[in-house]
Amino acid sequence: MLLLFLIPGWTGVNERTLVAVKPDGVQRRLVGEIMRRFENRGFKLVALKLVQASEDLLRKHYWDLRSKPFFRGLMSYMSEGPMVVMVWEGLDVIKTARNMLGENNPADSLPGTIRGDFCVEVGRNVIHGSDSVESAEKEISLWFGQNELHCWVHNSRPWIYN
């Protein structure tokens, strides 16, 4: 799956990233606020679903963390309830989304970031975002089928991008 595509006249790369509101964020009813922040920033939503993740899917998603001491707890936490999984598209969306999320440890996150505004401890940090183009490609293909990614015209694009 190719996620990077160039748009004539743009100086950056138009990307896609996976953003997932974790079970604690869904339970705390933060989904709308998080979506609002991405929409207000000018990013385009191209996929969205509410899902109760299977153990198999979570294991694939967090495979690189399997040797960490917190892996079992992470798997349990992510299985506690439904998640809202989204794909956002836009200019440098991966880097920008990571900045919007804040640090993994909420204590290190600045006010104005999602974790800085809504989280207290690492074990309940509300949201996940892809950290690179490679991880975005992998994660999007795990959570969404190709037919679930929608291409549509963002009518406000000329008001967001130069």
What are the tens digits of pLDDT across the range 119-160? 999 989 999 999 999 999 999 999 999 999 998 888 888 888
Task: Judge whether 122 and 104 are in contact, CB under 8 Å.
Answer: yes
At 1, is the pLDDT very low, low, confident or very high (cuts 50, 70, 90)?
A: very low
State the pLDDT at residue 55: 95
The H or E element that residue 85 is part of is strand 83-91
State the pLDDT at residue 9: 47
For 65, half-sphere exposure in the C-beta direction (CA atoms, 13 angstrom radius) is 12
Q: pLDDT at residue 2 above 80?
A: no
Catalytic residue among 61, 128, 150, 154: 128
Query: How many angstroms separate the CA atoms of 134 and 139, rounded?
Result: 9
Residue-wise DSSP of 70-81: THHHHHHHHTSS
CA dist list (Å): 145 to 18, 20, 47, 155: 13, 16, 10, 25
Region at 152 (left for phi over 0; alpha for psi -120 to 50; beta for the rest): beta
128 is a catalytic site residue? yes
At 12, is the pLDDT very low, low, confident or very high (cuts 50, 70, 90)?
A: low
For the stretch 61-112, pLDDT in tens is: 999 999 999 999 999 999 999 999 999 999 999 999 999 999 999 999 999 9
Query: How many angstroms separate the CA atoms of 55 and 34, rounded?
Result: 25
State the pLDDT at residue 13: 56
For 15, half-sphere exposure in the C-beta direction (CA atoms, 13 angstrom radius) is 22
State the pLDDT at residue 3: 46
State the pLDDT at residue 158: 86
Q: Which residue did the predictor score with more confidence, 14 or 108?
A: 108
